[in-house]
Amino acid sequence: MLAPLLALLAIPATFAGYACTDTTKAMVSLKGPGPGNGTVYFTQQAGSDEVHITGELNAFTPGKHGFHIHTSGDIYTDGCASTGGHYNPFNRTHGAPTDRIRHVGDLGNVEVDDSGHAKIDFTDRVITLCGRRTILGRGVVVHSGADDLGRGGFADSKTTGHAGNRTACGVIATVDATK
Ligand SMILES: *[C@@H]1O[C@H](CO)[C@@H](O)[C@H](O)[C@H]1NC(C)=O
Ligand SMILES: *[C@@H]1O[C@H](CO)[C@@H](O)[C@H](O)[C@H]1NC(C)=O
Ligand SMILES: *[C@@H]1O[C@H](CO)[C@@H](O)[C@H](O)[C@H]1NC(C)=O
Ligand SMILES: [Cu+2]
Ligand SMILES: [Zn+2]
C-alpha cells in the first residue's frame, strides 16, 4: 500500500527525460521495405556529449545513402513512412552533421561499398541519448539516395536533403551497456 505511494511521490515535478548513469547504450535494427538491413549501436558516457555510432549495413545498393534520426519510432502504423520527419526540436533547416544549423537528426550519409556493405563508425555531439531530447524511442531511416546536406538546390534540400525513398528503418531501443 505504502510502496506505490512513495514511488509516485518520487516522480520529479519536471520530466527531465532519460537519466544517463555510467554508459548508456542503444541499438536499432534496420529493415526494409527496400533492399538492405543492418544493426547500429549508439553509446554515450554519462557526463559526455559525445555519442559513438557504430554498426554494419548489408545488402544495400552501392553509394551514399541519407542516414537520419526521425522524430517518431512508429514503424508499426505505416512502416518507415510513419516515423515522421527528421528529428528537429530546435526548428532548424536541414544540414550536414558538421553544420551549425542542422536538424538534430541530421547524421549525413553512410557510404555503401560495391558489395552492399557499410561499416559505420563515427561520433556526433548533437544527438544525445540523455535528458529531455533523448533519441531513445525515435526512428532511424536509411534512404535510397544521397543526402545533399541541404546544398542541392532542390525543393526538399532544406527539409530532407533530397535523399529519396525510405529504404530501411528501425526504432532506437535501450540495451544493456555491460554487454
Ligand atoms: C539482410 O539481407 C540479406 C540479403 O538480402 C539477407 O541474406 C539477410 O538474411 C538479411 N538479414 C536480416 C537480419 O534480415
Ligand atoms: C519554424 O520555423 C519556421 C521558419 O523557418 C517558421 O515558419 C515556423 O513558424 C517555426 N515553427 C515553430 C514551431 O517555431
Ligand atoms: C521510390 O519509390 C517509388 C515507389 O516505390 C519508386 O517508383 C521510385 O523508383 C523510388 N525511387 C528511388 C530513387 O528509389
Ligand atoms: Cu531521413
Ligand atoms: Zn534533416
Report the domain count for the chain. 1
Active-site annotation holds for 70: yes
Active-site annotation holds for 166: yes
> What pLDDT score was predicted for residue 7?
56
> What pLDDT score was predicted for residue 16?
72
In ligand 3, the atom with minimum distance to the C-alpha of 164 is: 13
pTM of the entire predicted model: 0.90
Rg of the chain over CA atoms, in angstroms? 17
Can you tell me the distance from the alpha carbon of 123 to that of 105, in angstroms, rounded to the nearest whole number? Answer: 13
Q: Is 134 exposed, middle or buried (0-12, 13-18, 19+ CB in 10 A)?
A: buried
58 lines ligand 1 (CB under 6 A): yes
User: Of the residues 29, 31, 37, 112, which should be mutated to test ligand 1's pocket, given the most ligand atoms within 8 Å of the CB?
Assistant: 37
Active-site annotation holds for 162: no
Q: What is the pLDDT of residues 17-57, one digit of tens each?
A: 888 889 999 999 999 999 999 999 999 999 999 999 999 99
Q: Which of 3-7, 16-20, 38-42, 59-63 comes out lowest in average pLDDT?
A: 3-7
145 lines ligand 3 (CB under 6 A): yes
Can you tell me the distance from the alpha carbon of 80 to that of 168, in angstroms, rounded to the nearest whole number? Answer: 7
Q: Is the pLDDT of residue 11 over 80?
A: no
Q: Is the pLDDT of residue 3 over 90?
A: no
What spacing in Å lies between the alpha carbon of 83 and ligand 5's midpoint?
Answer: 13
Task: Select from 58, 57, 19 the least CA-distant residue to 41.
Answer: 57
> What pLDDT score was predicted for residue 15?
57
> What pLDDT score was predicted for residue 178?
84
167 lines ligand 1 (CB under 6 A): no
CATH of the domain at 52: 2.60.40.200
In ligand 3, the atom with minimum distance to the C-alpha of 145 is: 13
- Strands 63-70 and 139-143: what pairing? antiparallel
Three cell numbers at 167? 529504404
> What pLDDT score was predicted for residue 17?
82
Q: What is the pLDDT of residues 117-175, one digit of tens each?
A: 999 999 999 999 999 999 999 999 999 999 999 999 999 999 999 999 999 999 999 99
Q: What is the pLDDT of residues 64-97, one digit of tens each?
A: 999 999 999 999 999 999 999 999 999 999 999 9
Can you tell me the distance from the alpha carbon of 106 to that of 101, in angstroms, rounded to the nearest whole number? Answer: 10
Can you tell me the distance from the alpha carbon of 77 to that of 3, in angstroms, rounded to the nearest whole number? Answer: 37
Q: Which domain holds residue 83?
A: 2-175
Can you tell me the distance from the alpha carbon of 106 to that of 125, in angstroms, rounded to the nearest whole number? Answer: 11
> What pLDDT score was predicted for residue 72?
98
